Structure 1
Amino acid sequence: MGTIKISNIRVYAYHGCLVEEGKIGSDYRIDLKVKANLKPSAKSDNLADTVDYVHLNRIVKEEMAIRTKLLETVAKLILDRILLEIPIVNEAKIKVSKLNPPIGGNVEMVSIIMNQKR
């Protein structure tokens, strides 16, 4: 078993419960970790035998582009797609952070963390 991490994926998206958030948008940070059997790819040196992190990044960007009210919802959609589209992934963990959230205070970010196993 091995782990692939992608840290600090930055996207601009329109998630949130407030109408203004859907119009103005906000900056987001996504950290992703997936677990898979990486021994075959270590032996073969073949991209087809591993988890392509370009594919992971594309899933994150595509799902973040679809507006949701809750960070939990978009995180679940990303996890579902990873497990659906990348069969060798056994487990995925995601942290979705909204930077400078509009919560009436000086807050750097709010984050949710979710994980899902096959």
Structure 2
Amino acid sequence: MDKITMSGMQFYGYHGVFAEENKLGARYVVDVELHLPLDRPGRTDSIEDTVNYAEVHELIKRIVEGKTFRLIEALAEHIASEVLRTYTSINALTVRVVKPHPPVAIHFDGVTVEIHRKRA
């Protein structure tokens, strides 16, 4: 299956288990891989025959910056379900949510949740 990959989208959100995370917020990085046929837009060169990734970005931004989730797993799941619901031409997708600086006493580059969902 063909795919459109959107990498390194950065947003500021208020997600986490601790009250301080919900109050102060943090930066989150989101990657999505959208699996859909791209042969038609490849032939027609028309935006109407594909998924407008600027619109997908706006949808993801509204979710990450507009809602609060305790777990980044729930954030990733909500992104996946809303993208699939909104764009029926997408057959499957992978969503990665990175929390670069979780409030834990561990030194690492962050924590990433990756999920893959298919249209039922």
TM above 0.5? yes
Q: Which residue of 1 aligns with 2:100?
A: 99
Unmatched tracts of structure 1, length 5 or more: none
How far is 1:89 from its partner? 0.3
The aligned amino acid for 2:18 is: L
Note the 1:81-92 alignment, pairs <5 A: 81-92=82-93
How far is 1:52 from its partner? 1.0
Note the 1:30-109 alignment, pairs <5 A: 30-65=30-65, 66-109=67-110
Q: Which residue of 2 aligns with 1:114?
A: 115
In the aligned structure 2, how far is the partner of 1:93 from the partner of 1:40?
A: 22
In the aligned structure 2, how far is the partner of 1:115 from the partner of 1:69?
A: 20
**What's the TM-score once normalised by structure 2's chain length?**
0.94
How far is 1:51 from its partner? 1.3
In the aligned structure 2, how far is the partner of 1:26 from the partner of 1:84?
A: 27
Residue pair 1:101, 1:108 contacting (<8 A) in 2 also? no
How far is 1:105 from its partner? 2.3
How far is 1:43 from its partner? 1.0
Residue pair 1:101, 1:107 contacting (<8 A) in 2 also? no
In the aligned structure 1, how far is the partner of 2:78 from the partner of 2:58?
A: 13
Q: Deviations over 1:69-102 (max 9, x none)?
A: 0101111111111111111100010110101111
Shift >3 Å, 4+ stretches = none
Higher strand share: 1
**Percent of paired sites with the same residue:** 28
Q: Alpha carbon RMSD of aligned pairs, Å?
A: 0.9
**What's the TM-score once normalised by structure 1's chain length?**
0.96
Unmatched tracts of structure 2, length 5 or more: none
